[in-house]
Amino acid sequence: MTESTFNKLGGRAALLLMLSIYITKGSNSCAHLGENGKIENVTEIIQNILSKTNHKLCRPITNVSGALVVRTNIKLVSIGDFREADMQFTIEMYFRQSWRDSRLAFGQTRNSTIPSVTLNGELSDTLWQPDTFFENEVEGKIHGLTMKNKYMRIYNDGRVLTSTRITLICSCPMDFRKFPMDEQECGIYFASYGYTTKDIIYDWESQHETWNGKQEIPQFEIRDVALINKTQEFLTGTFSSLGIKLNLSRRLGHYLTRVYIPAILIVMLSWLSFYVDRHSAPARVSLGITTVLTMTTLLIGVGQGSMPVVSYVKALDWYLFVSYFMVFAAFAEYAVINYRDKAYSLEMIKKQRREATAKKTKQNGIAVKKTKPEETPDTIYSNAVHHEVFDISDCPPSSPQQDKRIGILEWINESLSPPEKTDNLAKKIFPLVFIMFNAGYWLYYLVFSR
């Protein structure tokens, strides 16, 4: 006996030792294995199947058409662990395939008919199976606790069913322009790696339950599950392909509590500076700096760590940018009124001095400040613009054009309101602008863009 023959017989013996067989017939799955006649029948079937392991390299030949139809059934167990930074997600499923291989039909054996035999994962690998691969798989595994989670069931008419428990990490291209009100389409797609449509055609089982909807996904809500059946053209030929497309809608609750509500409260907190006395500089400055720094932390930190670096602005970024601008504007408003307060105080001092000078001049019997005898109404108007002191009763009559110019001057002077009016105006404008922004923001992303 040659060494190769010995190794071949040894391998065949090892397969017999590894064999785990379950006889299925109605509800009595293994009850009749205790009968000696049945055991002999099973042994005969095993020997018959193992003698055909040399057919592993060749696909089954069909009489109907040239291509073998592989029917597929997928039961999704769990979907989760979406990693936006890597644009990947994890999925666990039962992956089932069935086809007909007349070479494995065993029919009747001696005195009884056995409907099917079930082989464990190790033995099933010795027989021919479709070379199915997952197109968008990044990483995957077949579960192996306590044994390899795979079986092959062979029916007496040659039908073959395989079932495997698989966990996959799949790629999923995502668009984050509407994040976190975005909707994503992720899926799993598979095909034959080497067999074209001339050899293998994939199709879905007629009775197919993919997702029962009872298990919730923390990050997304599954809005729809669609089955895909298509063919793909490559340089090497045309390939049959199946897939499951998941229409996912992101859950907003996490981002409302972690980002949006804190941003709203920080913006509202910045408005408190409008109610603090403008002369209390330490209070208003410290409040403004605190809100600006807190908003900066929120802008660059919370809710952004898991996001990939993209070249566009996300919906969340727009909200935080506007909120940051509102907080910064509230802080800058104090700088404006502080400057205007100093200018207004100087103007009041000058006005008081002018009034005192005018009063003193009138008391000395002088109606108009020392001017040239040939002063005209135009020169008197010019002096009025420059706050020169004069007695309006001694002015010559003005023309309609001069009255119009004086009216414009009075409107400009009235528009230069004191700092108190600036704060009062800010108390109304800032909340109004922020409310209008929120109304437009939420209407656009929750209603019009969907």
What is the 8-class DSSP label of residue 378?
H
Q: Which two tokens mark 43?
A: 């042994």
> What's the mean pLDDT in 316-320?
95
Which position has the higher pLDDT, 19 or 305? 305
Which amino acid belongs to residue 5?
T
Q: How large a percentage of the chain has pLDDT more than 70? A: 68
Range with top average pLDDT, 15-24, 40-49, 99-108: 99-108
Alpha helices in 219-260 (DSSP H): 253-255
Contact 158, 49 (CB under 8 A): no
Q: For the chain, what are the domain ranges?
A: 31-250, 254-344+423-448
Contact 98, 161 (CB under 8 A): yes
What's the CA dihedral at 416, 420, 424, 427 to 10 degrees?
A: 110
In terms of pTM, does the model score above 0.85?
Answer: no
Contact 22, 118 (CB under 8 A): yes
Give the CATH number of domain 254-344+423-448; options: 1.10.10.10, 1.10.10.60, 3.40.50.300, 1.20.58.390: 1.20.58.390
Lowest-pLDDT range, 215-229, 249-263, 360-374? 360-374
Give the pLDDT of residue 29: 40
| Burial tier of 117 (Cβ tally within 10 Å: 0-12, 13-18, 19+) | buried
d(CA 319, CA 438): 9
Contacts of residue 171, defined as CB under 8 A and 6 or more positions apart, other chains included, come to 87, 88, 136, 137, 138
> What are the pLDDT digits (tens) for 176-206?
999 999 999 999 999 999 999 999 999 999 8
pLDDT averaged over every residue in the chain:
79
d(CA 212, CA 317): 36
Matching residue, tokens 């071949």: 8
Give the pLDDT of residue 54: 59
d(CA 273, CA 137): 55
d(CA 306, CA 316): 13
Lowest-pLDDT range, 60-74, 252-266, 435-449? 60-74
Give the pLDDT of residue 14: 45
Give one word for 213, left, alpha or beta, with left for phi > 0 and alpha for psi -120 to 50: left
Which position has the higher pLDDT, 356 or 431? 431
d(CA 404, CA 422): 28
Give the CATH number of domain 31-250; options: 3.30.565.10, 1.10.10.10, 2.70.170.10, 3.40.50.720: 2.70.170.10
Return the H-helix or E-strand segment holding 330: helix 315-363
d(CA 410, CA 289): 38
Which position has the higher pLDDT, 27 or 376? 376
Give the pLDDT of residue 308: 86
Note whether 31-250 and 254-344+423-448 share their fold.
no
